[in-house]
Structure 1
């Protein structure tokens, strides 16, 4: 299990509705930041894996491609 998730157990707080049903979770800011970083890293990794078969450009080609798009 991810170390961030292990640190989180027991530190979360809940905001409930009038019936006592949890509607929101409140986390310490450092745990929240770690979770956001983890999700961003996961998404970046997925994007890299998805693009592995795509054509690669050197710097000059990439800049020309970007200029052509604008």
Structure 2
């Protein structure tokens, strides 16, 4: 696994999500959920940074706000 691809995808998805949701704290629990989701996704199927980031953004938007 190329850890740089995973790290870059996670950071990109988190930055995009927080830009759209400025009320979300940088250390919000959704960040950890995102990292775990993308790690599992990477293990299932290798992807590039852009594809993983897209999956991450979609995942964050599906999370229920009240449960994070």
Q: Could you tell me the TM-score, scaled by structure 1's length?
A: 0.31
Higher helix share: 2
The structure whose residues are more often strand, as a share, is 1
The structure with the largest alpha-carbon Rg is: 1
Give the number of the structure with larger relative contact order, counting CA–CA contacts within 8 Å between residues 6 or more apart. 2
TM-score, normalising length: structure 2: 0.32
